[in-house]
Amino acid sequence: MAHEISSLVKFIALNIQGDVGPITTYTSQRGKVVTFPRMPPLNPPTPIQEIIRARFQNAAIQWRALTANQRAQWNVLADRCNLGITGWNLFTHFACTGNFDGLRPLELRAQITVTRPTQV
């Protein structure tokens, strides 16, 4: 059954990830498409999970509200500081943690100033 589904997924699309109807699919590190029956969570999310999800949602909303130039500045900041992550990842870190102590040294090193996210 899993092989049939995997072949069907490969035939339909080149790169499907996540839940698709009754199956979950992803691409392994070896490049193989892995599929298995969808397994919905058995328990509702905990209050801490809901807080963390809300923080990520807030970060995504704020990122989309930035102009293209402001997003580019975050990407430049991450690139110039050789962090090995994208501007989105860096923005999300500061939006979720609200700890901006580490942002100023990065800005000084990269010689740019970025728009700070707000933490809710």
Handedness of CA 99, 104, 106, 110 (dihedral sign): positive
Distance CA 54, CA 75 (A): 24
Q: What is the pLDDT of residue 18?
A: 81
**118 close to 62: Cβ distance less than 8 angstroms:** yes
Question: Residue 91 burial by CB count (10 A; 0-12/13-18/19+): exposed, middle or buried?
Answer: buried
Per-residue pLDDT of the chain (120 residues; tens, 9 = 90+): 555 555 555 555 556 788 878 888 888 888 888 888 988 889 999 999 999 999 999 999 999 999 999 999 999 999 999 999 999 999 999 999 988 999 999 999 999 999 999 876
Domains of the chain, residue spans: 2-37, 47-110
Annotate 91-111 with three-state secondary structure: HHHHHHHCCCCCHHHHHHHHC
